[in-house]
Structure 1
């Protein structure tokens, strides 16, 4: 895994062992091709950050700042190493449960872009964290007007989901990965 483009393009990133499902380079490239100029100068939030690849890719492409939230302590250490390795400024890491941290942050700042790659529901009965996150009122409160949520989830044959307060901009599938671009109404 590496950063694809920008000031730190080509720099390889470390990946935490056993706790993440890194976004494939081709999927990352597709995401950033979709977003185009929206990244430049953006305030970015990367939740379920894993290696920090999406937030760091934004900084490499000119984002103003990136807050990376990850629950796993070892993954946070890997993110910090990746920040040091890439020498990108404007990155900060917060360790903890996304569903506890976001309510604590509500009303303190806003973000233009939010990237989320939560753990997939792999078995019947497991909670869909993608939908739970998208419907979280505190996430809406943290979004700048017209802000975008880029949500990575599993491709399913289930009935279409109503994404509540979000306008669907794009819905793309890359193998078993589904990328949703949702914009705050």
Structure 2
């Protein structure tokens, strides 16, 4: 795994091999991450530059760190797994992102109230097929973590049900991975 574009392009991230099933780590592949950021740059008017990014179920932090490399102002990582938190902190250090990165060791389904400004761009990559994304998004909305005009990027292989107040804008399939883009309304 590596950063695909931006200021830290080519920077290697901590390896988890093919993932860690016990820790539910399944990092977004470099190919899918590159395709995702190309879609964001091409079809959504560059929602990354100067964005406040929220990375729910952050895992290794690859999505939020990619956004920071491409010009996001800040990235907030929500992750509760011990192994994932260790890899996440290692990756933040590798990218020199300490000042722009905040880590909350919380369950993404119960993050509580947001202690800062709401986020413009949200990455949601829960363990596949467990229905955790719906609960996490509903809690993040209720806790003020998500700005009213935020773009939400949800990676999930199974069908999803967007929480009330969110609508599916589009979806793209990359092998077993389905990336869905959601907004308010």
TM-score range, shorter chain: 0.7 to 0.9
- How far apart, in 2, do the equivalents of 1:66 and 1:182 lie? 19
Shift of 1:130: 2.2
Once the two structures are TM-superposed, the CA of residue 184 in structure 1 deviates from its matched residue by 2.0
List per-residue Cα deviations over 1:141-161 (Å, max 9, x = no partner).
Answer: 3222210110000145xxx74
Q: Mark the CA change 1:161 to 1:97 in structure 2 (over 3 Å): closer, same or farther.
A: closer
Alignment partner of 2:36 out of 10, 31, 38: 31
| Number of corresponding residues | 174
Given the two structures, how large is their TM-score scaled by the length of structure 2?
Answer: 0.85
| Superposition deviation, residue 133 in structure 1 | 2.8
Aligned with residue 100 of structure 2, among 90, 93, 100:
90
Other structure's SS at 1:66 match: strand
CA positional deviation for 1:99: 1.8
Deviation of 1:164 (Å): 3.0
Which of the numbers 129, 134, 155 marks the counterpart of 1:131?
Answer: 134
Structure 2 gaps of 5+ residues are none
User: Matches of residues 4-153 of structure 1 in structure 2 within 5 Å?
Assistant: 4-16=4-16, 18=20, 19=23, 20-36=25-41, 37-88=46-97, 89-101=99-111, 103-105=112-114, 108-121=116-129, 127-134=130-137, 136=138, 138-139=140-141, 141-153=144-156
Tell me which residue corresponds to 1:154.
157
Flag the 1:145–1:93 CA change in 2: closer, same or farther, 3 A. Answer: same
RMSD: 1.9
TM-score computed with the length of structure 1 as normaliser: 0.85
Given the superposition, is the C-alpha separation of residues 132 and 29 from structure 1 closer, same or farther in structure 2, using an over 3 Å criterion? same
Deviations 1:112-144 (A, max 9, x none): 0110100112xxxxx41123333x154263222
Question: Relative to total residues, which structure has the larger helix share, 1 or 2?
Answer: 1
Given that 2:48 and 2:67 are in contact with CA atoms closer than 8 Å, whether structure 1 keeps it comes out as: yes
Q: What residue in structure 1 maps to residue 168 of structure 2?
A: 168
| Per-residue deviation, 1:73 | 1.7
